[in-house]
Amino acid sequence: MPEIMRRCVIAGGADIGDYAYIRSLIREEDFIIYCDSGLKHMEGLKAAPGLIVGDFDSHKDPHLSVETIVLPCEKDDTDTVYAVKEALKRGFEEFMLLGVVGARLDHTLGNVSILLYLDSLGKKGCIIDDYSEMEIVSEKPVRIRDTYRFFSLLNISGHARGVDIKNAKYPLENAEITCEYQYGISNEVLPGKEAVVSVADGKLLLIKIR
């Protein structure tokens, strides 16, 4: 059997309401990084940290017997971005980000851009919150099961051409979605089908609504 690539799970400080669902996605072999106030999720996720990073401006350093990287408060990278870069140094290829979408829109948008950063490096990344799952569609087609209530495609990278959507209520063929006209919102997978989304040139943010 092929070796399973370990995944890095990064927990930020935005609220998580449905711990039971999020816990169901965490694998025993995942490497968990808690970022600063993301430590508040440790009990709810029931997942031991492999690494803790942060400037501890929003959560006190718990001084656990776990590797901890204390960051300066004034820096270019957010705690979450630093955690991603540190995990990349350690060779991780797949990332799941939790607790990174919330009331702070600036942090939310910054965290969504991490998906673009990971995609540019050929790494796989997703963001999970209480309502949705996000990932980037670029070189490889992405399949969407009909268990998702809706899905949306948003241009957040400048251009997206040659967009195809198959097996959906609103199909597209060789279309273009621009940042100025986001018409790819609230599509639906046809019952009993798997929608397939592809982009010939550019990138799109896929948001699947549970």
User: In this predicted model, what pLDDT tens digit does every residue of 95-148 receive, in sequence order?
Assistant: 999 999 988 899 899 999 999 999 999 999 999 999 999 999 998 999 999 999
Q: How far apart are CA 137 and CA 134, in angstroms?
A: 10
Residue ranges of domains in the chain, CATH in brackets = 7-130 (3.40.50.10240), 137-209 (2.60.120.320)
Phi, psi values for residue 105, rounded to 5°: -60, -35
Burial 54-81 (b: 16+ CB within 10 A, else e): bbbeebeeeeeeeebeebeeeeeebbbb
**Predicted confidence (pLDDT) per residue in 53-83, tens digit:** 988 877 777 788 899 998 887 778 889 999 9
Write out the two tokens for 31: 């490497």
* One-letter identity of residue 12: G
Residue 148: the pLDDT is 92
pLDDT at 186 over 50: yes
Q: What CA dihedral angle connects 24, 26, 29 and 35, to 10 degrees? A: -150
Residue 5: the pLDDT is 67
